[in-house]
């Protein structure tokens, strides 16, 4: 039997999950005149994704590039608006980690310096009391942020919780409608020529060729399974995931919950119709260490998503990392796939920094869990050690290139986990404490008034859907 003729593509994606379909759709939107193909592989079926995904604020811009609206997510993916995570540490300790502002700076000093002065003076306010986003999240409220940057209601930001299976279906339908070509047979292996992928072998005996390949096949890394990895350190791994279907309108939709246990964490995320609970425990095996590919972009192949990294699922970073991977790919997309060494080096440098900074943030919580469990904690990386030293000593927050978590999230996490500065800024010490207290108690009053006027999230979603039906489109929402 003679071989089947090769199918020709400009770019080809291997995988069948969220990463694969999102990458294929984005590439088609960016290059509508090019032939973009996609095929599954045995190791990368849609059922291997997490039951829910968490999107950070920057995700909205990516969705706009893909041609998917917020209403699409709400109506077709059971999505909700997420303001942040409420962490419960045991023994009564708790704090809120959100993307928006906490308090307000004054006289050139960040708010946490004034918070420390209030705390020293005996003021009974937790740090997140001064966050509008935290107040909204604790009561299950939601509105979109105000456009006026001077308004208090512009001081918070939000992401989404999205049901994975429905989101994957929405992405695939949109991609196919946009002109992405799906081949019938799964990919079995890559055929290499002089250190580059020359073609892909299909399970039906056919083969295809492309100028550039995206490997979204998950941990199996179908296209380049021997690509070396770089170990970051121990990780909290997901042991169980349970989906509890809930009556519509039950529970708080605006926050995630994270609760510390004897040797790990449990998390709870809310969709409109369900709550998803997961348990994370410290991994004992070195094989479970957090790691990423040393060179996710090698030759004419780029690994994305879980084909490129295995990080702890704490803080659900998968979608945030995929967003960053696709942003970098878009910025560095080679004009000539045969000559992309410079682009590959820059991509690998920046994305590997991104993986390391996310792992640093997760390490904060893993150290806390190890300490509670009486286990030895892994040493922080040099960048994290510097961040901790500077913050503990004088309240200075060191932020690096390629950070995913915002400065406000880092500050909230450090204070919430007990890393309090020993000194406050001289700029914050100049004002009389009575004036500082009066100023920030005024802010607390405004936060209370604003939150009281807001609707519950489910009511707000229903209002958005009603407006869309009455207007006949998305633009009026």
* pLDDT(277) > 50: yes
Q: Residues 122-179: pLDDT tens digits?
A: 999 999 999 999 999 999 999 999 999 999 999 999 999 999 999 999 999 999 999 9
**Can you give the residue ranges of every domain in the chain?**
7-99+157-378, 100-156+379-456
* pLDDT(3) > 70: no
Torsion angle (degrees, nearest 10) of CA 400, 405, 406, 407: -60
Averaged pLDDT score across all residues of the chain? 90
For residue 134, the model assigns a pLDDT of 97
Phi-psi sector, 99: left (phi>0), alpha (psi -120 to 50), beta: alpha
Whole-prediction pTM value? 0.93
Q: Is 124 helix (H, G, I), strand (E, B) or coil?
A: coil
Residue 455 backbone dihedrals phi, psi, to 5 degrees: -85, 160
For residue 477, the model assigns a pLDDT of 46
Between these two residues, 464 and 285, which has the higher pLDDT value? 464
CA angle 66, 71, 75 (to 5 degrees): 110
Q: Residues 61-96: pLDDT tens digits?
A: 999 999 999 999 999 999 999 999 999 987 778 999
Q: Residues 348-406: pLDDT tens digits?
A: 999 999 999 999 999 998 888 777 767 777 789 999 999 999 999 999 999 999 999 99
- pLDDT band for 240, please (50, 70, 90 cuts): low
Q: Residues 314-342: pLDDT tens digits?
A: 888 999 999 999 999 999 998 787 789 99
Distance of CA 155 to the CA centre of its chain: 20
Contacts of 204 (CB under 8 A, 6+ apart): 4, 184, 185
Q: Residues 4-45: pLDDT tens digits?
A: 445 799 999 999 999 999 999 999 999 999 999 999 886 444
Note the CATH architecture for domain 7-99+157-378: 3-Layer(bba) Sandwich (3.50)
**Rounded Cα gap, residues 179 and 174, in angstroms:** 9
For residue 48, the model assigns a pLDDT of 56
Closest CA to 428 of 395, 391, 406, 399: 395
Cα→Cα distances 165→79, 169, 394, Å: 12, 6, 46
Count Cα atoms within 13 angstroms, Cβ side, for 411.
24
Determine the average pLDDT of the residues in 45-72: 87
Cα→Cα distances 356→69, 293, 341, 351, 383, Å: 31, 12, 23, 9, 9
CB atoms within 10 A of CB 379: 11
Q: How many residues does the chain have?
A: 477
For residue 2, the model assigns a pLDDT of 38
Buried b or exposed e, range 4-23, using 16+ CB within 10 angstroms = eeebebebbbbbbbbbbbbb
Contacts of 426 (CB under 8 A, 6+ apart): none
* pLDDT(283) > 70: no
**Rounded Cα gap, residues 101 and 94, in angstroms:** 18
Q: Where are the beta strands (DSSP E) in 261-315?
A: 264-270, 274-282, 290-293, 297-298, 301-303, 309-310
Neighbouring-strand partners of residue 188: none
**Rounded Cα gap, residues 209 and 213, in angstroms:** 9
**Rounded Cα gap, residues 25 and 11, in angstroms:** 12
Determine the average pLDDT of the residues in 255-281: 87
Instruction: Identify the DSSP state of 294.
Output: S
């Amino acid at each position: 039997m003679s071989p089947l003729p090769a199918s020709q593509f400009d770019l080809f994606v291997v995988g069948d999950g969220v990463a694969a379909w999102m990458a294929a759709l984005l590439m088609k939107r960016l290059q509508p005149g090019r032939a973009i193909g996609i095929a599954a592989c045995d190791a990368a079926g849609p059922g291997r994704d997490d039951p829910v995904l968490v999107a950070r604020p920057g995700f909205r811009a990516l969705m706009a590039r893909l041609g998917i609206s917020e209403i699409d997510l709400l109506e077709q993916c059971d999505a909700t608006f997420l303001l942040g995570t409420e962490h419960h540490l045991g023994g009564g300790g708790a704090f809120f980690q959100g993307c928006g502002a906490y308090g307000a700076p004054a006289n050139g000093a960040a708010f946490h310096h004034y918070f420390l002065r209030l705390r020293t003076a005996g003021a009974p306010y937790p740090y997140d009391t001064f966050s509008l986003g935290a107040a909204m999240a604790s009561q299950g409220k939601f509105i979109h942020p105000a456009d006026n940057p001077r308004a208090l209601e512009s001081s918070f930001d939000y992401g989404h919780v999205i049901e994975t299976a429905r989101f994957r279906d929405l992405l695939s339908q949109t991609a196919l409608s946009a002109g992405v070509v799906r081949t019938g047979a799964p990919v079995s292996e890559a055929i290499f020529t002089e250190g580059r992928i020359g073609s892909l072998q299909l399970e039906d005996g056919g083969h295809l060729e492309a100028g550039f390949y995206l490997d979204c096949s998950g941990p199996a890394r179908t296209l380049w399974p021997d690509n070396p990895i770089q170990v970051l350190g121990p990780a909290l791994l997901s042991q169980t995931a349970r989906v509890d279907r809930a009556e519509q309108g039950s529970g708080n939709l605006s926050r995630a919950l994270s609760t510390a246990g004897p040797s790990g964490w449990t998390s709870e995320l809310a969709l409109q119709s369900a709550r998803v609970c997961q348990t994370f425990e410290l991994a004992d095996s070195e094989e479970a260490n957090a790691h990423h590919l040393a060179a996710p972009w090698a030759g004419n192949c780029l690994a994305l998503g879980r084909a490129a990294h295995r990080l702890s699922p704490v803080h659900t970073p998968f979608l945030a990392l995929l967003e960053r991977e696709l942003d970098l790919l878009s910025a560095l997309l080679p004009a000539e796939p045969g000559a992309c060494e410079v682009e590959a080096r820059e991509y690998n440098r920046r994305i590997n920094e991104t993986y390391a900074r996310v792992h640093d943030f997760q390490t904060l919580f893993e150290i806390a869990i190890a300490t509670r469990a009486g286990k030895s904690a892994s040493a922080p990386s040099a960048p994290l050690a510097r961040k901790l030293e500077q913050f503990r000593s004088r309240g200075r927050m060191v932020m690096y290139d390629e950070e995913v978590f915002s400065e406000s999230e880092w500050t909230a996490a450090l204070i919430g986990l007990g890393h309090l500065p020993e000194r406050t800024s001289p700029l914050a010490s100049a004002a009389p404490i009575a004036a500082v207290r009066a100023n920030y108690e005024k802010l607390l009053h405004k936060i209370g008034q604003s939150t009281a006027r807001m609707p519950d999230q489910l009511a707000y979603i229903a209002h958005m859907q009603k407006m869309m039906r009455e207007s006949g489109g998305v633009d009026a929402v």
